[in-house]
Chain A
Amino acid sequence: MDKKRIAFLSIFLFLAVNVVALSNAIEGYYGQEDERVYGAVIVALISTGLATTAFFIWKGTTK
């Protein structure tokens, strides 16, 4: 697989990670489990950052 394809597919992976993180943040918030909320926020921000990187890798190698 070339770089572009990996970048393309990884965005969906990060999307899935963020969905799980958001649900954890919500559950943690209402369940008053602070660690869970903070963990989810950290995971989500990292995965968003990586998704942005992947997006630009993909964009840079297109056309």
Chain B
Amino acid sequence: MSEEKKNHHEDDTDMIKLIDNLNRKDDVHLNRRAFLKASFGATVAIGLATTPFGIFTFLRDENGEVKRVEVTDVNDLAIGESRNFNYPTKTEPAILVRTPEDKFVAYNNKCTHLQCPVFYEHKENVLLCPCHKGYFNVDSGQPMAGPPQRELPKILLEIKDGKVFAVGREVRHG
């Protein structure tokens, strides 16, 4: 092989030099290798990129964002009435509704469109966002009309000894 190469080098014809450069098999091989290496690198990078989300989720849990808060006395809220409270933190608005079917439901009181507060409309039994006329279903928190596309985060309730407690929050549900 080295003899063959030597011959080529000693030969001054341009064409032959070109052919010598074109070691096609090697070329294909190297490209494929580089491609796989890049793909493998991307796989590892993307795979490892999930870990921070896991860690932050864990830390968020540790901070105990989900806690138990007393909202009101059952008797303080008549059927078809609503009340605002804050949950899960002191600054996050929420709305508690006692529906005509005498059920308690609560949602994050921020429209999923542009965060305006929503109000309970007793007559139509809907949650209404006045900013751009967004309507939400009272029983599910799902958007019914207007710009909002996502459901209102639901606040999980527990009724015990005649009192309503907020015990958790589900951002995506139903």
A residues at B contact (CB < 8 Å) = 8, 11-12, 14-15, 18-19, 21-22, 25-26, 28-34, 37-38, 40-41, 44-45, 47-48, 51-52, 55, 58, 62
Contact = CB atoms under 8 A, between A and B. Distances in A.
Contacts of A52: 40, 44
Interface string B100-132: 000000000000000000000000000000000
What size tier do the contact residues of chain B reach?
A: 20 to 34
B57 A14 contact: no
11 contacts: A11-B43, A12-B39, A21-B47, A22-B47, A28-B57, A29-B53, A33-B171, A33-B172, A37-B53, A37-B57, A41-B51
Contact of B43 (A14, A30, A62): A14
Contact of B46 (A12, A28, A32, A44): A44
Interface in B33-89: 33, 36, 39-40, 42-44, 46-51, 53-54, 56-57, 61
B98 interface: no
B47 A38 contact: no
Given A48-B44, A55-B40, A38 B57 contact: yes
B40 A22 contact: no
B47 A18 contact: yes
Contacts of B51: 41, 44-45
Given A11-B36, A22-B50, A26-B53, A48 B169 contact: no
Given A40-B54, A41-B50, 17 more contacts: A15-B39, A15-B42, A15-B43, A18-B43, A21-B47, A22-B46, A22-B50, A25-B50, A28-B53, A30-B171, A31-B172, A32-B171, A33-B171, A38-B54, A41-B51, A44-B48, A51-B43
